[in-house]
Amino acid sequence: MGLFKKDLTTVLLNVEGMKCVHCEKRVVDTLKNSKVKAEVNLQEKTVSVKFDSEKITLDEIKSIINELGFECK
């Protein structure tokens, strides 16, 4: 019996309204608290998220980002 980490789901989201490193940090830190790994690209206006789909849904992740004041598409 091996101890393998479950495959995580990776999704690239388009997010409007992020303008600076403070926005980036806010998104990354908030998602981290929800056990979601996030990488923000301010120039491309994207957020790449990696998550366990058995613990959180993509709609929940989008809702978290929207609640921060950004528009997740």
Please tell me the predicted confidence (pLDDT) of residue 73.
Answer: 83
Residue 45, CB-side half-sphere exposure with 13 Å CA sphere:
10
Average pLDDT of the residues in 47-70? 96
Please tell me the predicted confidence (pLDDT) of residue 1.
Answer: 43
Nearest by Cα to 27 from 73, 72, 68: 68
The one-character DSSP state at 4 is P
Highest mean pLDDT among 4-8, 47-51, 52-56: 47-51
Tell whether the torsion through CA atoms of 17, 25, 33 and 2 is positive or negative. positive
Please tell me the predicted confidence (pLDDT) of residue 5.
Answer: 61
Each residue's pLDDT tens digit, 6-38: 689 999 999 999 999 999 999 999 999 999 999
